């Protein structure tokens, strides 16, 4: 049996009302809609009936009806779990006044849901994203609250693109170190590093220490080197360094993602499975990884800094861990760190004085 589809009939404009009345009678039960002032009919037909209708006198054209969908702004599930924007709205903060760097593959400079204040290209000729990873990370942190697309945790931050990874998503440790040096020089407050490598490196270690001493809060993906059993010390560098907050990934059930790295260096966890965010070309995509978890905490840290500008990086770090919901074994553990921080726990319910 042929399936029916919804079609639009365009009637000959001369005497179209008379033609319409005739068709309404002959096609009774098939008409979906008629119009008072336009020479069109909407009708449900199968393919055989369509060919028959095309030959009727007074029918000029037959074409399929199309559907439109709502385009309102969405709050991705990870953003909702942290409840950052809701609490921040109550407190009157959105990350404004906080300078955040995304050390990654760059950021799409033309994306309508992102506002990039500046940046540097340490690979290639521009800090325009030629991979997509950095744009996705940036959207989790700072997608604009503009009634379209998605909204980030802290849409009011000053967002900087530090492009140290190439179009394939890889980059030299030395370029990452140069990116941290740039962050120090440009007085950034927080730098997100959704990247990782298995090897320690003296230059990277030195750059991390310098950035931390300069008062920059460093947030990094713990790594996707974990295993189903959650065994072993698998946190990658630079998340493994003590000056950096290592963030693992959880799913919608607040369970550790099987790929999420584990070990003594793990500090916190955040949503990192099926995360909707921005990608180049003005589009949106779902991605998974600890790369998606880290920017959730970066955004929350930016809200905290915005609400309490005098807080130092060390104090923000302490409040994030103190405001975490304990998951897994009681207290700190190698799967979840200190747990999942939320806006309510970290920011409080009262407006800052």
What is residue 45's three-state secondary structure? strand
Torsion sign, CA atoms 144, 251, 91, 315: negative
Per the residue annotation, which of 104, 130, 145, 189 is the catalytic one? 104
133 labelled catalytic: yes
Crossing angle, helix 290-307 and helix 84-91, to 10 degrees? 10
**CB-CB neighbours of 247 under 10 Å:** 33
- What's the rounded Cα separation, in Å, for the pair 335 and 226? 10
For residue 343, how far is the Cα from the chain centroid?
17
Per the residue annotation, which of 111, 133, 136, 296 is the catalytic one? 133
- What's the rounded Cα separation, in Å, for the pair 343 and 353? 18
Residue with tokens 């990658």: 236
Q: Quote the Cα angle for 256-257-262, to 5°.
A: 65
Per the CB < 8 A criterion, the answer to whether 30 and 52 are in contact is no
313 to 213, 266, 309: CA distances (angstroms): 10, 18, 10
Per the residue annotation, which of 194, 260, 291, 306 is the catalytic one? 291
Structure tokens at 306: 């915005």
291 labelled catalytic: yes
Torsion sign, CA atoms 123, 210, 134, 142: negative
- By annotation, the residues acting in catalysis are 104, 133, 291
């Amino acid at each position: 049996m042929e399936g029916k589809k919804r079609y639009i009939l365009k009637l000959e404009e001369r005497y179209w009302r008379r033609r319409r009345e005739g068709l309404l009678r002959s096609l009774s039960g098939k008409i979906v809609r008629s119009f008072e002032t336009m020479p069109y009919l909407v009708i449900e037909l199968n393919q055989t009936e369509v060919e028959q209708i095309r030959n009727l006198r007074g029918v000029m054209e037959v074409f399929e009806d199309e559907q439109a969908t709502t385009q309102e702004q969405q709050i991705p599930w990870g953003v909702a779990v942290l409840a950052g924007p809701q609490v921040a709205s109550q407190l009157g903060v959105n990350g404004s006044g906080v300078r955040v760097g995304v050390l990654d593959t760059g950021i799409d400079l033309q994306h309508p849901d992102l506002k990039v204040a500046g940046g540097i290209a340490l690979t290639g000729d521009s800090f325009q994203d030629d991979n997509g990873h950095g744009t996705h990370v940036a959207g989790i942190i700072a997608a604009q609250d503009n009634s379209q697309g998605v909204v980030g945790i802290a849409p009011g931050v000053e967002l900087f693109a530090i492009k140290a990874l190439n179009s394939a998503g890889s980059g030299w440790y030395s370029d990452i170190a140069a990116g941290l040096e740039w962050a120090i020089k440009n007085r950034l407050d927080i730098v997100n590093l959704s990247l990782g490598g298995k090897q320690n490196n003296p230059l990277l270690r030195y750059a991390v220490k310098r950035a931390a001493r300069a008062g920059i809060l460093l947030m990094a993906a713990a790594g996707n080197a974990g295993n189903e059993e959650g065994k072993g010390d698998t946190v990658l560098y630079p998340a493994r360094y003590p000056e950096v907050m290592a963030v693992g990934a959880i799913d919608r059930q607040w369970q550790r993602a099987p790929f999420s790295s584990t070990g003594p260096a793990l500090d916190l966890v955040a949503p990192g499975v099926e995360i909707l965010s921005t990608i180049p070309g003005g589009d949106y995509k779902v991605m998974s990884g600890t790369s998606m978890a880290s920017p959730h905490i970066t955004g929350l840290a930016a809200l905290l800094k915005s609400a309490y500008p005098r807080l130092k990086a060390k104090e923000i770090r302490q409040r994030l861990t103190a405001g975490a919901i304990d998951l897994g074994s009681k207290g700190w553990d190698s799967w979840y760190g200190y747990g999942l921080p939320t806006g309510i726990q970290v920011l409080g319910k009262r407006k800052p004085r």
